Amino acid sequence: MLIPAAALAACGGDPGLTGEAQVQVRDSAGVRIVEYVTVPEVEPPFALAAEPLYRHGANPGDYEFQFVDAGRLFPDGSAVVAWYSEVVVLSPDGTTHEVLAKVGEGPGEVISPYSVFVLGQDSVLVPDDRQSRLTLFVGDSVARIVSLPRAAHVGVAGIGASGELLLMNRFPYRSRVDIEDEWLAGHMTLFDIETGALDTVASYDHFHRERSGQPWPIIRPVGEVTVAAGRFVYTRSDRPEITWRMPDGKVIRIVRWRPEPTLLTEELLEGGEAYNRMIGRRHYGVSDARLEEMIQEDMSRYRAMIGQPIPRFGSPFADAAGNVWLPSYRPAYPEEASPYTVISPDGEWLGQVETPPGFRILDVAGGLVLGVLRDDFDVESVAVYELATRTSAVR
C-alpha cells in the first residue's frame, strides 16, 4: 500500500471534562454532544517557549520563503515546508535545507503543492492540485505517483486508518450566485488510491449564497473540513461548533460553546493595507496607481463593516494528538491569529494558546510547533518553538 494503516483510539467512556467549566455532556444515538454554557476560562496545559529553537529564512544562505502554504514536522524534529512552487526539507536544527521538489511537470516536480503529509521519518506525501496527482517521496526519491480526481475544487484533507484519502472541497464546485439553498454544499469524500474509487460520505455547508445585483460582503462565513486522527472535522466560521465524522460519514461528536460576538474594529485591520500592497506588487501586474485604487477599494469595504460581527475563527487544523486548533480570525491579513483555541478529540476545552506576533502555526507534533514568522518588513521565515506541556495532551 502507498500509505501505512494507523491505529485510531477507540471512542467511548467519559471524556473527563474540566470540572470548572459549565458544560453539559450527553449521548444521543451514538453521538456525544458537549455543550459549554459560555467560553470556558481554562489555563491551557501547554505554551510556546519564549524564543524559537531556530528560524530559517532570515540568515545568509537560508532558503528564501514566500507565501508558505503548509508544513509538517518529522519525528526527529526536522520539517518539510511547501509554498507556491517548491517543497523544502529543513534539518532538525534548522541550519540546512534541501529542495525536495522543484517547480515543473516532471516526476518529482510540483506546480501547486497546497499541503504535505508526513508518513514517518523521511516519507512525505505531496498532493498537487494543478497536476491532479499525489507524489510519495521516500528520502529524496520518488517512490510512487498516484493520479487524483481531476477536479480543481477537490483537495486532500487527510489520511484514514486504512490508507484511504479523505477529500474535501477546497473551492466552490459551481457558482454560488442565486442558488436555491442558503449555502452551496461541499462534500466529504473517500478516495481509494488502489482502485481510484470515489465515495461521497457526507455533505456540508461550504460557501454562503450570493445574490446577483447585490454587493458581496468582503467578509463572509465559510465551512471548512480538516482531518484529526483519521476523522473528518467540520466547522462553519459563523457558528461556535465543531463536528467530528468517521470516514464513513457517521457523526460521532459535536462540541458547542456560546461566545460573545467579535466585532470588526479598526485595530483588527492594522497591517492589512501594507500586506495587500505587497501581494499586489508581486502578483497583480498593474500600475502603482491602479494597484493603490484596488487596495483602497478593498479597505473601504472592510471599513464599511466596522462594528459588525466577524467569523468566530480562521481555518482549523489538527495536531498529532488529534486536538483541533482554531486560530482567531484576522481580516485583510494572513491568519497569524493569536490566540489559538484548542479542543481535544474528546471535546474537552483545553484553553487558548498565545503565539508571538506575526507567527502562524503550520503543525504541532512531538512537543514542537512549526510555523511561519513574518517580520516587520513582511519577510517570511520558518520557525520551530518548543511546546512546554503541563500534561500529555500533545505528544
Q: Answer yes or no: is pLDDT of 84 > 90.
A: no
pLDDT value for 392: 45
> Burial, 48: exposed, middle or buried (Cβ in 10 Å; 0-12, 13-18, 19+)?
buried
| Whether the predicted pLDDT of 355 surpasses 90 | yes
pLDDT at 21: 60
Banded model confidence at residue 100, pLDDT cuts 50, 70, 90: very high
Q: Is the pLDDT of residue 17 over 60?
A: no
- What pLDDT does residue 336 have? 64
pLDDT at position 6, please?
Answer: 34
| 18 against 159, higher pLDDT | 159
Half-sphere exposure of 365 (CA within 13 A, CB side): 23
- Work out the average pLDDT over 366-394: 84
Q: Quick one: pLDDT at residue 59?
A: 87
Q: Which residues of 226-253 are buried (b: 16+ CB within 10 A; e: fewer)?
A: bbbbbbbbbbbbbebebbbbbbeeebeb
2 pLDDT above the threshold of 70 = no
Mean pLDDT over residues 255-271, rounded?
91
Which of 195, 312, 173 has the alpha carbon at shortest distance from 242? 312
Residues in Cβ contact with 112 at an 8 Å cutoff, skipping those fewer than 6 apart: 84, 128, 129, 130, 131
pLDDT digits (tens, 9 = 90+) for 233-253: 999 999 999 999 999 999 999
Q: For residue 20, is pLDDT > 90?
A: no
Question: Residue 273 carries which side chain, given as an amino acid letter?
Answer: E
The predicted model gives 183-192 an average pLDDT of: 96
Band of pLDDT at residue 255, cut at 50, 70 and 90: very high
Torsion of CA 253, 257, 261, 264, to 10 degrees: -50
Helix (H) or strand (E) holding 279, with range, is helix 272-283
Region 204-223 average pLDDT: 93
Tens-place pLDDT, residues 273-329: 877 887 788 778 889 899 999 999 999 999 999 999 999 999 999 999 999 999 999
| CA 205 to chain CA mean position, Å | 17
Least reliable range by pLDDT among 23-27, 187-191, 301-305, 372-376? 372-376
How are beta strands 123-128 and 117-120 bridged, if at all?
A: antiparallel
What letter would DSSP give residue 152?
Answer: T
Residue 118 pLDDT: 96
Tell me which of 8-12, 14-18, 326-330 is least confident: 8-12
Backbone angles phi, psi at 240, to 5 degrees: -80, 85
